[in-house]
Amino acid sequence: MTARSAAAAATEISSLHRAAGAKLAPMTTDLIVRPARSADARTLAELRWTFKQEDYEGQPPAPLRHLEEAEHWIGDRLSDGRWLAWVAEAKDEICGHVFLCLVERMPDPYKDNNPVGYVTNFFVMPSQRNKGVGSALLQALKQHSRSACLEGLIVWPSERSTPLYQRFGFQPPEELLELPLAT
């Protein structure tokens, strides 16, 4: 996202927030949203570990996996295109990200079988929250998904992220069933 399109997105995002009655801190003006690169893998892995630590109040347990495992996993998938991601940068530091995995659909002789996008690993550093960073990331993801003709986007949101997703048009599914396979 260029500086000019970032400014246009910021205006649109601010309108979305005002329409939803959201109270925002001042918008980050030096924000750049861009596609993630495999060279970002180390930073994205570090942010993933930070993100998952928020699941634990107080002291999180020791990780079962090394950070380098996540770095290689992310780098491999970004470099071969199996996964897409966008990062938000403020003051030349990555401060947020969102990932997209394309889920292929079986060919259908009577209608399109465009892929579905699975949205995951959406995170904004606490110091940048409520400043439009998450909205800018979702706007970039939504623009890409529309231009790529995806059938739709799915997400398992957290309680905290649900209102943001809803402002962007995400709705509860009418036709989805889930079978949890917990051990």
Q: For the segment 144-161, what is each residue's pLDDT rounded down to a tens digit?
A: 999 999 999 999 998 989
Average pLDDT over residues 95-107: 96
User: So what's the pLDDT on residue 20?
Assistant: 39
The answer to whether residue 174 sits within a structural domain is no
The domain tally of the chain equals 1
Is 75 domain-assigned?
Answer: yes
Average pLDDT of the chain? Answer: 85
Q: Quick one: pLDDT at residue 62?
A: 85
Helices (H) and strands (E) in the chain, counts: 5, 5
pLDDT at 61: 84
The answer to whether 41 and 78 are in contact (CB under 8 A) is yes
Each residue's pLDDT tens digit, 64-86: 889 999 999 999 999 999 999 99
Mark out the alpha helices in the chain (DSSP H runs): 3-19, 41-53, 67-80, 133-147, 162-167
Q: What's the 3-state SS for 126-137?
A: HHHCCCCHHHHH
Over range 40-53, report the average pLDDT. Answer: 94
Question: Which CATH number characterizes residue 99's domain?
Answer: 3.40.630.30
Q: Is the pLDDT of residue 5 over 70?
A: no
Tell whether the model's pLDDT for residue 3 goes beyond 60. Answer: no
Would you say residue 182 lies in a domain? no
- 180 within a domain of the structure (yes/no): no
In a domain, 172, yes or no: no
Q: In this structure, is residue 175 part of a structural domain?
A: no
User: CA dist 182 to 5, 64, 120, 134, 178, Å?
Assistant: 43, 19, 19, 30, 12
Do the domain assignments include residue 59?
Answer: yes
Taking the complete model, does pTM exceed 0.75, yes or no? Answer: yes
Tokens encoding 115: 């892929």
Q: Give the pLDDT of residue 183.
A: 66
- Strand order through the sheet with 31-35: 31-35, 83-90, 93-103, 116-124, 152-154
For residues 56-83, b (16+ Cβ closer than 10 Å) or e, as one string? eeeeeeeeeeeeeebbebbbebbeeeeb
Domain with 153, as residue range(s), is 3-167
